[in-house]
Amino acid sequence: MMDSEILDMLEDIGRSSVARLSPAVYLSGNNAQVRRDEVLGAIRGTILPRRLEFTAADGAVLAIEVNSSRITDVFRCVSGSVPDFETEARENLTERLAQLVSEIATAPGPLELVSLRPDVTIEADDVGITLSEVYAACARIALPEEPRMTIVPDQVPKPEAQPEAEPQEPDGIARKFYESAERFALGRILIGGVDAETRCEGLCAPGQPAHPEKDLLTRFARDLAGWQTDGSDALSEPQLIVMRPTGGQGAGLAILRDGRETAAAVHDVRKLGAVVNLWKAFKNAAE
């Protein structure tokens, strides 16, 4: 490659590069097999000691310690107990690691990956489990096909006639968002509704650090109403409002309004993928 070509390439990189506000990257494989390959690829590409945290769209987390493409510890897993590298037999440990990798790959995508410094210095003799061992164990674990389809029999018995129940108004998207956000939110608030209730959970519960004062909620509701009035020609409901801290670290705030109620979720900024996926799911269902 000529010097002029190298300079042109560097210039193109400089023009197209943008600053990352978050340390997270996303593994956007469209099925479990691809996502598992991406997880294994992230482990293979980790040479220096790092703590890798994989977070699925439903909040499931796999946090592992990796050094020289070897898994040396597990801090958090999707299901079951965390494996003990000190006491478990190497063969059993390898099978368990393959199961954990397969479980996080089976969880809803995209997977969010954050690479952090390890909490403690990894000992030189801590060789862990090699990637080739985990690869071989993963090959023995079959992953479900996607999408899953339900087979409906040709003839379905008719249910017995039941007295008609009183029609009920379905829950809005904001209430569903409030309830489902429990999986990843540090604190939750639900404002409005037929009975004008205000519900606060987690860090937003009474007596907790993020519990809002009544006057603050009143001003907040008034500001949102004014914003809706000012932008009524251009805005439609439901609406998702996302607030992130400068630098991409700390707590974020997601607000969802559906015209009847307003839900707010305080969440770790790294959980933004879970917020967006939840919004998409409810929005698509409503349409």
pLDDT per residue as tens, the chain (287 positions): 456 666 666 666 666 554 544 567 888 788 889 999 999 999 998 888 889 999 988 888 999 999 888 999 998 888 888 888 888 899 999 999 999 999 999 988 788 999 888 766 666 556 789 999 999 999 999 887 654 433 444 455 555 656 555 544 556 888 888 888 888 889 999 887 545 678 889 888 888 888 888 888 778 877 877 777 776 677 777 888 888 877 667 888 898 888 788 889 998 887 887 888 888 887 777 66
pTM, two decimal places: 0.47
CATH at 225: 3.30.450
DSSP state string for the chain = --HHHHHHHHHHHHHH----SSS-EEE--SSHHHHHHHHHHHHHT--S-EEEEEE-TTS-EEEEEEETTEEEEEEE-SSSPPP-TTTS-HHHHHHHHHHHHHHHHHSSSPEEEEEE--SSPPPTT---EEHHHHHHHHTTSPPPPSS--PPPPS--PPPPP-PPPPP-PPPPHHHHHHHHGGGTEEEEEEEETTTTEEEEEETTSTTSTTPPPHHHHHHHHHHHHHHHHHTTTT--SSEEEEE--TTS-SEEEEEEE-SSEEEEEEEEGGGHHHHHHHHHHHHHHH-
- Domain end residue (candidates: 138, 160, 190): 138
> What pLDDT, on the 0 to 100 scale, is given for residue 15?
60
Residues 94 and 31 in one domain: yes
Residues 31 and 132 in one domain: yes
Residues 71 and 178 in one domain: no
- Domain end residue (candidates: 138, 162, 196): 138
> What pLDDT, on the 0 to 100 scale, is given for residue 135?
93
Residues 122 and 188 in one domain: no
Residues 178 and 116 in one domain: no
Residue 160 lies in a domain: no
> What pLDDT, on the 0 to 100 scale, is given for residue 182?
87
Residue 149 lies in a domain: no
- Domain end residue (candidates: 138, 160, 194): 138
Residue 12 lies in a domain: no
Residue 168 lies in a domain: no
> What pLDDT, on the 0 to 100 scale, is given for residue 117?
84
Residues 185 and 113 in one domain: no
Residues 109 and 196 in one domain: no
Residue 151 lies in a domain: no
Residues 193 and 265 in one domain: yes
Residues 132 and 184 in one domain: no
Residue 68 backbone zone (phi > 0: left; psi -120 to 50: alpha; other: beta)? left
Residues 134 and 180 in one domain: no
Residues 178 and 106 in one domain: no
User: How many domains does the chain fold into?
Assistant: 2
Residues 25 and 79 in one domain: yes
Contact of 274 with 183, CB cutoff 8 Å: yes
> What pLDDT, on the 0 to 100 scale, is given for residue 36?
93
Residue 218 lies in a domain: yes
> What pLDDT, on the 0 to 100 scale, is given for residue 237?
75
Q: Which domain holds residue 89?
A: 19-138
